[in-house]
Amino acid sequence: MNIQDNELNQLAKMQMPFGKYKGTPLIDLPESYVIWFYQKGLPNGKLGSLLGLLYEIKVNGLEYLLLPFKDS
């Protein structure tokens, strides 16, 4: 497993800790919410880092990268 796989795996495992989508795995957050969050400012730390990665994946049409991690 390389570092990218580890971060993608974390997107599948980590749940949104607060807000409208509390308890939802980050990988399942709607694109519109991720974009809104990005525009408002991402939180510091691991959550912000993962949301930034998810933003880049979603706005660049790279969701296929997440498919192997959906059921892991």
Q: What is the pTM of this model?
A: 0.87
- Retrieve residue 25's tokens: 């795995």
| Half-sphere exposure (Cβ direction) of 72: Cα atoms closer than 13 Å | 15
pLDDT band for position 70 (cuts 50, 70, 90): confident
Question: pLDDT tens digits, residue range 46-61?
Answer: 999 999 999 999 999 9
With CA atoms as reference, report the closest residue to 53 among 12, 8, 3.
8
Number of structural domains found in the chain:
1
CA-to-CA dists, residue 18 to 23, 29, 60, angstroms? 8, 12, 26
**By residue range, what is the domain housing residue 22?**
3-69
Token match 């691991």: residue? 46
Question: pLDDT tens digits, residue range 1-50?
Answer: 454 568 989 999 999 999 999 999 999 999 999 999 999 999 999 999 99
